[in-house]
Structure 1
């Protein structure tokens, strides 16, 4: 009996505490292995049917009060012929999660895979489980299954599959205009998408006030996907709509335009807030249709052009990338933002001039419009002014992520 079993844990030394943790984990693994022994023999003897249950999994679920999923997993592990996995579990070298991942992979081996090859993969996965977490075993297991899938097909079938890759994308819109989507990619497209998402979905660095990125992993991936779409949408090779690219016709009341409040009716989008429209129109050709209270058209404004290619090149030289504090995204992920917006109160909009533009990525563009941040140009350098709730003094911040190694801004 170990010291951790007879003494309260608060009385244990640091060494005894960690040793006790490892010892108890090994005991849990051994007890789980014993559980699988019992389940396996119950299944072999047919005791579940004898006692009135449909099968062994149902017996476990009802008698042990576990979920049907957990019961089925235990039966699968108990009845699988995987001696190396069971031995490692009994010795406490791997845990129940490892056992589940190993069984889940090897139980899907096609008939064309020999018993010797299955045993070889079992040895590989057990060895990996002794040094890695279960999710890593799962990833390696997926590669094994993918290899078997390809190996089990005739060469002509493989080529036929490659000629028509399975890529699906399904989407729908909610009542408030949000898109919900699901789908799948073939391995090649999936890995390509992941390689694009990973660098863009990294957490933002700690800001000037010591705050960490508040977004969840799912939110960061969503922002990364929006950034990829934003980049693709600016490609000169995309199809145009009705002969023009990125044309936005805005139907808005004069009072709402001046107050930057209320609701806007936008072609293809329906009802949006004015703040949303202001953000969307930063890098589009905007045609404002201003109405009075009687819904009469007061003005059908001429299109406001976006930054020219020459202006974009100048901004790239000056800003080097997104000017948002701490953002390291390069120029291709950023678009010109109007410091003084085109729809300022009183109808006097900001010009599309270098001195009124600054580069911002999709995420930081969103913060400028909806997060209370402001942008200004001072001595040829873009500075961001945080909202008052973040910094009551609203001290300007310059992004230094694009500075050369010397640390000097040239």
Structure 2
């Protein structure tokens, strides 16, 4: 085993050196550069997988049962993670991830000890092993899928999780580790709607606010928020800091005047946010609204399909939050009248007001935010408050309509990219009945000729589709 591992690592090392020939990098084409970067990533995944296997073996030889006879303690280290960190020169986090990944892989590779109490990969996740050991899937991606999907429960069985793993392995080809984790959490919610209330309760129970007084006279606060609480706080935060962080251009004369005053303020965005929240705490509902864009209580919107709300099944989303909430929570939040429901129809479109005006109305902006969940461009995470409404058919030249169906939210960067670089956005009806959008690159200069799928961040609209009869 050791010889084969050393041989594999030697091959990977030589390949990595070939990829990283910096002397010729500036002479290669864009396509060659990206292909080389892709190959280097494959080599790194392979090396990480082999390193994880080695770290897992270090952990096996350093178990607590071995005490001072364990490998780590014989070399003067308290834990296997510490030995791996010192030996590889990596960070504590990287060493911990390597040991955990190697431990999870050990039993699946037939290298674990019978009766070993260490964590192991559950049977429904064994399909992850081969892609990891072949270098097609990183160890970090393994952890994202494993932790994002959770465990078998009363509301979801192993077969459902097996199918989810196979789908996520495919998704991993186009998603980074962070987005893969979020996608795994979304998949869990899609296949386990009955468990949403329990997961929501667990997040609510985990909320906390801690204050730490430092020796330098400063005090630090750590605030852990569940999605419902975060929706209130982030709305106020975005309203206080958006102009200072490159938010969208607002058309209201009052807003333009307020933005100019905010931009002239010498405080940093962080200082401005701190002072704004302090004023809110001091004065409560009567705080000076000039510190925030728009006025009044935080605007929290509940996105839910009309069918789910009528039938009492499924789930809802709080705008701007990635995790769903149960329908009882949605109904509770709607009861006090301070939150607005956004009902999604069976086409996935919440509003249509025709071609009577040039600009999108505030109500249409609310509908776009509910449908898109932020900048719709592939890979962009900008929230709705940072976005502008884009006509996919230009109003002046192509008889474009100011309908939600013919608009998408784009952040300033991607809005300028579309207008200045010759991109087009098209809408078409997908096979599932939802309106789908894609960005068509210009004929030259975009680096790609393939259309980009512009997917909504919010998964609620897919629940708006009529139930399909069983085949």
TM normalised by structure 1 equals: 0.42
TM normalised by structure 2 equals: 0.38
Q: Which has the larger radius of gyration?
A: 1
Higher helix share: 2
